[in-house]
Amino acid sequence: MAGSPDLGRRYTQDMISWLRAHGTIASAVLIASGLTLAFGYVAVDSLLGAVDPSRLDSDFTRSALGMGGVRGTQGIGGAASNASAIIGVAIGAVVLLSLIIVVGLAFRRDWAREAGVVIYGLLGLMSFAVSLGGLSADPPAPSAWVGMLTGLANVAVVVLLLVPPTSRDFRNSGRRRPAQVA
C-alpha cells in the first residue's frame, strides 16, 4: 500500500483532466438525459391515460371538454382519453427525437450537436412561452414554475453545446475517428 497516495493523486489528476476535456459535453448529456426521462414518463403516463381514462385527473377531463366540446357518444371519458392520447403521442415523438440526439451527443457526432442546439433551443423557447402564460394567469398555474425550470434546463443544454470546450471536444473526437469509406 506504499504507492496508494500516488495512485489517488494520479487518479484525481486524470479525473480533472478528463473533466476539462469532456465536462461540458458530459454535463449536456446528463441534463438532456434527465429531460428525456422526465418527459418519457409524461408520455407513457398520457398513453396509459388514453387506455384507462379512470387514471386521468378530473381537472384534465374538464379542460379536455373545454377545448372542443363533446360530440357523439364518447362522452367525457372519451374526449379526455383522446386528448391524452394526442398528448402522449406528441410528447413521445419529442422524447424519441431527444433520445436519438442524446445518443449522438454521447458518441460526439456533429449532427447531434447541431440538432441538439436547434431542438433543445426550440423546446426551451416553447417552455418559457407556455410558462409565462401560466404565470400570468389569474390565479397562476402551479406547474408554471416547473415549465420555467424545464426551459432553463433546455437552455443550459444549448449553452453547454455551444461553449468552446465542447467545440474542441467534438473537433478532437473527429480526428480520432477513422475515415469512413463511402
| Rounded percentage of the chain residues whose pLDDT exceeds 90 | 34
Segments in 52-163 forming alpha helices (H): 58-68, 75-106, 110-136, 144-162
- Break the chain into its structural domains and give their ranges: 24-170
Question: What is residue 119's predicted lDDT score, i.e. its pLDDT?
Answer: 96
pLDDT tens digits along 105-148: 998 899 999 999 999 999 999 999 989 988 888 888 888 898 89
Instruction: Extract the C-alpha cell encoding 72.
Output: 357523439
C-beta separation of 46 from 87 below 8 A: yes
Quote the CA–CA distance of 120 and 49 in Å, as a whole number. 27
pLDDT tens digits along 23-54: 888 899 999 999 999 999 888 888 887 777 66
C-beta separation of 25 from 169 below 8 A: yes
Question: What's the pTM?
Answer: 0.73
